[in-house]
Structure 1
Amino acid sequence: MDISQALGLLRKQISALKISKEKVHKLAYELLTLKGLDLGCIDCDAVHELRKGLISKLEKVLPPPITLPERRLEHLVEMAVCAQIDGCTYHSSSEMISLYGDHHCNRDQFPTETIQILTNHQNEVWFVQFSNNGDYLASSSRDCTAIIWKVQDDNRVTPRHLLRSHKSPVSFVTWSPDDTMLLTCGNMEVLKLWDVETGTCKRTFGNDDFIVSSCAWFPDSKRLVCGSSDPKKGIYMWDCEGNEIKAWKGMRMPKVLDLAVTPDGENLISIFSDKEITILNLTTSAERVISEGHSITSLSVSGDSKFLIVNLNSQEIHMWDIAGEWTKPLKYEGHRQQRYVIRSCFGGVNSMFIASGSEDSKVYIWNRRNSKPIEILSGHMTTVNCVSWNPKRFNMLASASDDYTIRIWGPSVQSR
Structure 2
Amino acid sequence: MGRGISPAVEATAVPNTDPLADAGHSKRKQTLLSLLDALHELTKDDDFASPVSNNDRPSFEDDRDVPTVDEHLQKVGADVFKKFERRMTNLDRELRNFANAARQLGSSVGILSSSVHLRERLAQLLWLFRENAADLFPRKVKRQPRESLVDTALQAALRRKRHKGPSHVVNPTVDDLDPEDFPDQMRSLAHDVMTFLDCLNEFPEFSDEAVNASIQSLECDLKYWASCLKAYEGQFRYPAVQRYLHDLTSEMGEHLDIITGSLSVFIEIGVPTIRFAQEHASQNLLNLSTVATFFSAVTATTMQFSYNMTEGTLAKAVNCFWFISLVFSIQAAVNSLLGLTWKQAMYRSPGHRVPWWVHIWIKRSPLVFLVASVACFSMGLVLFGYSSGQDRVTTTLTSVFSAFSCIGLAAVSTWFISERMIFTKHQGQKWLADVLSEAKVELCSVPGIKWIIYEPRALAWRTGRHVREAGQWMVRQFRIASDSVSRMSTRTLRRVSTMSTAIEKDQEDGTTETLASPQSPEPISPLRMRQSNSTGPLLPIAEVRSSNFGSSDNLEMATTMSDASTAAQNAPPPSGKARFVHAVHSVMMMRQAASPMPFGLSLPPHTPTRRRTSSIDGPRGRSMSAEPIGMMRASRVAALVPKLKALETTQDLAAHQALVRHLQFSPNGKFLATSSWDRTSVIFRVGEPFTAHRILAQPQGFVGQVAWSPNGTILLTKLNRGVKVWNEDGVCKKTIDRRKNVQSIAWLPGGEGFLSVEGSDVVKLDLNGQVLDTYHFDRMVLHDVAVTQDCQRMLCVGTLMASRDGLHPSKSRAEKQIIAFNMEKKEIENRVPVLHDVRDITLAHDDQVALVSYENKAPPQLWKLDLFKDTARLSLRHTYMPKVTVDFAGPSYFGGKNDQLVLCAGKAGDIHIWDRESAALLHHVRAQALGGDLTCIAWNAAVEPFVFATGSHDGGVRIWTTPPNYPTINVTESTPGSYANSTNGNTPRTGTPSLFDTEQQTSSPEQQDFTSEQFLQAAAQNVGASTRLGERKAVTFE
Q: What is the TM-score normalised by the length of structure 2?
A: 0.29
Shift of 1:373: 2.2
Matched, 1:240 2:790: no
2:721 corresponds to which letter in structure 1?
E
Q: Distance in 2 between matches of 1:181 and 1:111?
A: 33
Equivalent residues in 2 for 1:14-413 (5 A)?
83-88=630-635, 90=637, 104-105=639-640, 107-108=642-643, 112-152=647-687, 154=688, 156-186=689-719, 188-196=720-728, 198-207=729-738, 209-228=739-758, 230-231=759-760, 234-249=761-776, 252-273=778-799, 275-285=816-826, 287-313=829-855, 314-323=857-866, 327-334=875-882, 338=887, 342-377=890-925, 378-379=927-928, 381-394=931-944, 395-412=946-963, 413=965
Q: Distance in 2 between matches of 1:401 and 1:261?
A: 29
Q: Distance in 1 between matches of 2:645 and 2:846?
A: 21
Q: Distance in 2 between matches of 1:290 and 1:407?
A: 36
Shift of 1:83: 3.7
Work out whether residues 366 and 375 of structure 1, in 8 Å CA contact, stay in contact via their aligned partners in 2.
yes
1:238 corresponds to which letter in structure 2?
L
1:337 and 1:227, CA in 2 relative to 1: closer, same or farther beyond 3 A? farther
Q: Distance in 2 between matches of 1:341 and 1:361?
A: 9
2:917 corresponds to which letter in structure 1?
R
Shift of 1:262: 2.8
Please state whether the residue corresponding to 2:951 is helix, strand or coil: strand
Q: Percent identity?
A: 24
Work out whether residues 111 and 396 of structure 1, in 8 Å CA contact, stay in contact via their aligned partners in 2.
no
Q: Distance in 2 between matches of 1:283 and 1:311?
A: 27
Q: Distance in 1 between matches of 2:920 and 2:630?
A: 20
Q: Distance in 2 between matches of 1:220 and 1:386?
A: 26
Q: Distance in 1 between matches of 2:825 and 2:967?
A: 50
Work out whether residues 137 and 150 of structure 1, in 8 Å CA contact, stay in contact via their aligned partners in 2.
yes
Aligned residue for 2:251? Answer: none
Shift of 1:203: 1.2
Work out whether residues 238 and 245 of structure 1, in 8 Å CA contact, stay in contact via their aligned partners in 2.
yes
Q: Distance in 2 between matches of 1:110 and 1:333?
A: 19
Aligned residue for 2:583? Answer: none
Shift of 1:328: 3.0
Q: Distance in 2 between matches of 1:243 and 1:325?
A: 32
Please state whether the residue corresponding to 1:170 is helix, strand or coil: coil
Alignment: residue pair count: 313
Q: What is the TM-score normalised by the length of structure 1?
A: 0.69
Give CA deviations for 1:205-257 in whole Å, capped at 9, x if unaligned.
234x31111001112211111102x34xx11101112111001237x252221
1:277 and 1:337, CA in 2 relative to 1: closer, same or farther beyond 3 A? farther
Aligned residue for 2:967? Answer: 415
Q: Distance in 1 between matches of 2:650 and 2:717?
A: 27
Shift of 1:331: 0.3
Structure 1: which 5+ runs fail to align?
Answer: 1-81, 92-103
Q: Distance in 1 between matches of 2:834 and 2:847?
A: 21
2:634 corresponds to which letter in structure 1?
G
1:225 and 1:270, CA in 2 relative to 1: closer, same or farther beyond 3 A? same
Please state whether the residue corresponding to 1:350 is helix, strand or coil: helix
Q: Distance in 1 between matches of 2:744 and 2:712?
A: 18
1:372 and 1:108, CA in 2 relative to 1: closer, same or farther beyond 3 A? closer
2:817 corresponds to which letter in structure 1?
E
Please state whether the residue corresponding to 2:876 is helix, strand or coil: coil
Please state whether the residue corresponding to 1:343 is helix, strand or coil: strand
Please state whether the residue corresponding to 1:168 is helix, strand or coil: coil
1:226 corresponds to which letter in structure 2?
S
Shift of 1:411: 1.7
1:236 and 1:108, CA in 2 relative to 1: closer, same or farther beyond 3 A? closer
Work out whether residues 384 and 401 of structure 1, in 8 Å CA contact, stay in contact via their aligned partners in 2.
yes
Q: Distance in 2 between matches of 1:167 and 1:306?
A: 38
Q: Distance in 2 between matches of 1:405 and 1:374?
A: 26
Work out whether residues 830 and 873 of structure 2, in 8 Å CA contact, stay in contact via their aligned partners in 1.
no
From the two aligned structures, give the one with the greater helix fraction: 2
Shift of 1:267: 2.3
Work out whether residues 259 and 270 of structure 1, in 8 Å CA contact, stay in contact via their aligned partners in 2.
yes
Q: Distance in 2 between matches of 1:236 and 1:210?
A: 11
1:151 and 1:90, CA in 2 relative to 1: closer, same or farther beyond 3 A? farther
1:264 and 1:112, CA in 2 relative to 1: closer, same or farther beyond 3 A? farther
Shift of 1:290: 1.8
Q: Distance in 2 between matches of 1:407 and 1:279?
A: 35
Q: Distance in 1 between matches of 2:707 and 2:818?
A: 20
Work out whether residues 861 and 879 of structure 2, in 8 Å CA contact, stay in contact via their aligned partners in 1.
yes
Please state whether the residue corresponding to 1:360 is helix, strand or coil: coil
Give CA deviations for 1:325-359 in whole Å, capped at 9, x if unaligned.
66334101227555x75211001112110001112
Aligned residue for 1:21? Answer: none
Alpha carbon RMSD of aligned pairs, Å? 2.4
Please state whether the residue corresponding to 1:133 is helix, strand or coil: coil
1:322 and 1:308, CA in 2 relative to 1: closer, same or farther beyond 3 A? same
Work out whether residues 168 and 189 of structure 1, in 8 Å CA contact, stay in contact via their aligned partners in 2.
no
Q: Distance in 2 between matches of 1:336 and 1:193?
A: 39
Specify the structure having the higher radius of gyration (Cα).
2
Work out whether residues 659 and 955 of structure 2, in 8 Å CA contact, stay in contact via their aligned partners in 1.
yes
1:278 corresponds to which letter in structure 2?
I
Q: Distance in 1 between matches of 2:875 and 2:818?
A: 14
From the two aligned structures, give the one with the greater strand fraction: 1
Shift of 1:372: 4.2
Shift of 1:319: 0.6
Q: Distance in 1 between matches of 2:774 and 2:659?
A: 33
Give CA deviations for 1:350-370 in whole Å, capped at 9, x if unaligned.
211000111221111111134
1:297 corresponds to which letter in structure 2?
R
Q: Distance in 1 between matches of 2:746 and 2:732?
A: 17
